[in-house]
Structure 1
Amino acid sequence: MKAKFITLYIAALSLTNLSCEKFLEADPPKNQTAAEAAFQDDKIATSTVLGIYTSMNGFNGQFASSLLSTLMSIAADDYYYSLTSYDAYKQNALLPSTDYLDRLWSQPYVYINQCNNVIEGVAGSTLSTQVKAQLTGEAKFIRAFCYFYLVNTFNKVPLVKDTEVFKNNLLGQSTKQEIYDFITQDLTDAVAGLSDAYQGPERVRPNKKAAQALLARVYLYNQKWALAEATATAVIGDTRYKIPTDLNSVFLKTSEEAIWQLQTVNTSTAGVNTWEGFSIIPTTSTGSSFYRVYDATVAKFEIGDKRKTDWLKTYTTGGVTYYYPAKYKIRTATPVTEYNTVLRLAEQYLIRAEARANQDNPAKLVQAINDLNMIRDRADIPDLSANLPKAAVLLAIEKERHLELLGEWGHRWYDLVRTNRAVPVLSVTKANGFNAADQLIPISEVILNTNPNLKPND
């Protein structure tokens, strides 16, 4: 009989030290509960899903806590690290032996495996119909979220759809289209199964609109412009979500712009609100950050842009003043006031703007400009002219996505790669140049050694 297990809490060691073990563990660690028992009670079953969120954001320097945002921001032109730890990413000189690459692969698969356990456990359970639909929807949403980052980082990855561990550890890679088809189906199912209401007073468990928000992004990346527009419009039309005029409220746990957030569940460092804030904010009010926004990016902000004054801060060292990202303001403090914001409303306006601009419809091009002006109005900079041609609108979208989403979840890197703009942009802004091969993120040799059927990224 196939063994099934569900993780309630996952140790940091199991996420960071893979050695040459398989990326999907066959034996249950001591802190797991057999799925057959976990899914006999609504509350216990719900706690298994909550445990996935805990493992996603419980420790610093992990895929979903801060690592992906940091590495992809450095690989693009958002910000860089002043010390040498991430130089391979800054110089776009990644090798299969480069540090941290294994985490970008292995940790999403840990969460995918947990989601597969939930989906199978719920399907064979006697849980209430409502709880079944909600938990299955959440698991499919998280699974789609993880596959989205796997496929956009590594192009071809194994498609693990069940809990057959020994089979899955020897899977070859599926095509990018196959992965995207699976993501789209998971999110479509999640939209159908998730409640429109949040499960509790905060936005830390995805609801129907969170699934639609991610689905709108997936449609955009696949150039399904009409579907991207319609899906983003469904999210924008929900009056629970607003574009607040106060930029300093956007990343609070009470943010009206937030669609989905991750709450830090931390047991190692007192007072952590978000791991990004903990890593980037200086330890004292007069101290220095280890992070610096690229000069070319700072120069893109227009005069009076509140995003520069509210979301960037400065420090001076060696007589030189540097900007560092400061969307999250708190390094450590209690009570907690900031959550890691994963999906927010501004992105939906930017998705809709790009989708409208690409439909070669003059009326929709004007609507795209209006969407951009919603974001620019909040930043307190002048509206764009309604008479801009398509090429200029697309460049304006690229710029607004860069400045609005700076440092968030690798947006800048994935945007440049998917629009074929990485080489022309980064070859100018990177001191050591940038070529087409630099767009390929290698699969870690640690991962390649676990499965003879895996092939290096082309």
Structure 2
Amino acid sequence: MKSVFKNKWKLPTSVNKIKTMKVKFIPLYIIATSVSLLSCEKFLEVDSPKNQVAAETAFQDEKIANATVIGMYTSMNGFNSQFGSGLLSTLLSIAADDYLYAAGSYDAFKDNALLSSTSFLDRLWSQPYAHIGQANKVIEGVENSTLSTSVKAQLIGEAKFVRAFCYFYLVNTFNKVPLVKDTDVFKNNLLPQSSKQEVYDFITQDLVDAVANLTDPYVGTERVRPNKKAAQALLARVYLYTQKWELAETTSSAVIADTRYKIPTDLNSVFLKTSEEAIWQLQTVNTSTAGVNTWEGFSIVPTSATVNPLYRVYQKTLDAFESTVLGTDKRKVNWTKEQPFNGVPYSYPSKYKVRTSTPVAEYNTVLRLAEQYLIRAEARANIGTAAKLSVAVDDLNVLRARAGVTLLSNTLNKADALLAVEKERHFELFGEWGHRWFDLVRTNRAVAVLSVTKGNGFTASDMLIPIHDEIMKTNPNLKPND
């Protein structure tokens, strides 16, 4: 897929702009981004607007239908500071206690003083909905096409996976969101918010469908298009978040049992594009900045060894990593890096180590095996029997062994096991895809933890992320996040 992602494009900035077409068209950038993968054939010549081709025509061609699906992933990782290219990870890491940004742009997140006018909030809403709109176009176009049954299943499975993925982040960020299920723009522009349970039910069904439709082998030689196990991995997370402990345990176990996925002993290999731990990755799409591997690496890694590192791991988080007779937690050693400035040492996140380089070595890792061990451990701990508590600790110890710290006792009680899960999730997943923020909010631990670790008077109301004013203007039926 190295030649798939070539064309630069611009993401819509409001829901209104996403859904203004009266006729169903497929944006041409979705197709153009994949033209080198497909062939040198001419694009369809139709009477559609110049930058679009009619969906009814596009989805009759298997190559172009595949290109529209690839375009969904292109759109998620094409520019810096977008929802899928590191922005969500950055904002929620700062809102929690993973790391901060020292140059002021994200102070409202650092201080947990978010307003409906706070910059960047609009992107966390409008951009996932843009991807959902693309997924809906794919689903409808493929369902109404004459493509083969197997091709239809794969493409619809991928589109439902992407739709579920985006709704997962929308509902966990904003609690109640409209459920846009089709391409009827007039109806969708006036949809009220659905309850969190309704959204989760929809996500679950999309992922169950994706598991049934997707093939187990990856499409292509890399892990940049989701397969059956990627859908199961996300479904396991959804079961965990909705407290379906047994389903979370069995679904994560199915992923863990797949021998393609491994917990490598070298922590510096986890975020490489060749990582054996990766379940689903996003390949960086870039024409604007030479040598970008991931936008997170490009943003966080200092431009030289003498400049001020602006992304800094919270000191209390650094201090929380364990140092035992076996040594300091290797996750701290390998996934943070210290750089002095004016005689003061600052530690910055270093999971992605490449700012720019050619050839590309790192991909944006979205789903990985370590999370499945953590999901299973938490599910087992919540089931709470002595036998389940013992194997929950075993799961945590898989990651602790790799980190080089003392293994936990298999005799932990339920409360201590759940606290151990919380800590391991922080050490293992810090800085990744909002995990720390979502974990503290969903377990009602945010006030207890962040009021201490951040020392900024964090209260229960700070767990609510407001919907941006510009988003509220797009739909008269939207209500603020209460």
Smaller-chain TM-score bracket: over 0.9
Matches within 5 A, 1:101-250: 101-250=121-270
Larger mean Cα displacement after TM superposition, 313-322 or 406-415? 313-322
Conserved in 2, the CA contact under 8 Å of 1:307 and 1:379?
yes
Question: 2:21 is matched with which residue?
Answer: 26
Identical-residue share of aligned pairs (%): 72
Does residue 438 of structure 2 align to residue 444 of structure 1?
A: no
Q: Report the CA distance between 1:11 and its aligned residue.
A: 6.2
What secondary structure, in the 3-state scheme, does the structure 1 residue paired with 2:302 have?
A: coil
Conserved in 1, the CA contact under 8 Å of 2:6 and 2:285?
no
Aligned residue identity for 1:255: S
Which of 225, 236, 251 does residue 271 from structure 2 map onto? 251
Counterpart-to-counterpart distance in 2, 1:119 and 1:82: 43
Counterpart-to-counterpart distance in 2, 1:9 and 1:24: 25
Question: 1:78 is matched with which residue?
Answer: 98
What secondary structure, in the 3-state scheme, does the structure 1 residue paired with 2:86 have?
A: helix
Larger mean Cα displacement after TM superposition, 385-394 or 147-156? 385-394
Q: Which runs of 5+ in 1 are unaligned?
A: 1-7
Does residue 366 of structure 2 align to residue 371 of structure 1?
A: no
Residues 74-111 of structure 1 show CA distances to partners (whole Å, capped at 9, x for unaligned) of 00000000111000000010001000000000000000
Q: Report the CA distance between 1:453 and its aligned residue.
A: 0.2
Q: Report the CA distance between 1:23 and its aligned residue.
A: 4.6
Q: Report the CA distance between 1:14 and its aligned residue.
A: 3.6
Does residue 352 of structure 2 align to residue 353 of structure 1?
A: no
Larger mean Cα displacement after TM superposition, 95-104 or 424-433? 424-433
Aligned residue identity for 1:224: K
Conserved in 2, the CA contact under 8 Å of 1:23 and 1:169?
no
Q: Report the CA distance between 1:33 and its aligned residue.
A: 2.3
Conserved in 2, the CA contact under 8 Å of 1:113 and 1:163?
yes
What secondary structure, in the 3-state scheme, does the structure 2 residue paired with 1:187 have?
A: helix
Does residue 415 of structure 2 align to residue 395 of structure 1?
A: no
Conserved in 1, the CA contact under 8 Å of 2:216 and 2:228?
yes
Question: 1:416 is matched with which residue?
Answer: 440
Aligned residue identity for 1:401: R
Counterpart-to-counterpart distance in 1, 2:125 and 2:58: 27
Counterpart-to-counterpart distance in 1, 2:314 and 2:248: 31
Question: 1:296 is matched with which residue?
Answer: 316
Conserved in 1, the CA contact under 8 Å of 2:178 and 2:193?
yes
Counterpart-to-counterpart distance in 1, 2:208 and 2:293: 32
What secondary structure, in the 3-state scheme, does the structure 2 residue paired with 1:321 have?
A: strand
Question: 1:54 is matched with which residue?
Answer: 74
Conserved in 2, the CA contact under 8 Å of 1:22 and 1:451?
no
Counterpart-to-counterpart distance in 1, 2:86 and 2:7: 17
What secondary structure, in the 3-state scheme, does the structure 2 residue paired with 1:170 have?
A: coil
Counterpart-to-counterpart distance in 1, 2:174 and 2:66: 32
Could you say if the C-alpha distance between residues 323 and 403 of structure 1 is closer, same or farther in structure 2, counting changes exceeding 3 Å? same
Counterpart-to-counterpart distance in 2, 1:163 and 1:11: 24
What secondary structure, in the 3-state scheme, does the structure 2 residue paired with 1:60 have?
A: coil
What secondary structure, in the 3-state scheme, does the structure 1 residue paired with 2:88 have?
A: helix
- Aligned residues between the structures: 449
Counterpart-to-counterpart distance in 1, 2:90 and 2:160: 26
What secondary structure, in the 3-state scheme, does the structure 2 residue paired with 1:315 have?
A: strand
Q: Report the CA distance between 1:21 and its aligned residue.
A: 4.0
Instruction: Give the TM-score, by structure 1 length.
Output: 0.96
Counterpart-to-counterpart distance in 2, 1:382 and 1:72: 30
Conserved in 2, the CA contact under 8 Å of 1:417 and 1:439?
yes
Q: Report the CA distance between 1:37 and its aligned residue.
A: 1.3
Question: 1:430 is matched with which residue?
Answer: 454
Conserved in 2, the CA contact under 8 Å of 1:235 and 1:348?
yes
Q: Report the CA distance between 1:396 and its aligned residue.
A: 0.7
What secondary structure, in the 3-state scheme, does the structure 2 residue paired with 1:299 have?
A: helix
Counterpart-to-counterpart distance in 2, 1:23 and 1:70: 24
Aligned Cα RMSD in Å? 1.4
Counterpart-to-counterpart distance in 2, 1:286 and 1:243: 34
Q: Report the CA distance between 1:216 and its aligned residue.
A: 0.1
Which of 302, 310, 314 does residue 282 from structure 1 map onto? 302
Conserved in 2, the CA contact under 8 Å of 1:40 and 1:125?
yes
Instruction: Give the TM-score, by structure 2 length.
Output: 0.91
Question: 2:32 is matched with which residue?
Answer: none
Conserved in 1, the CA contact under 8 Å of 2:306 and 2:340?
no
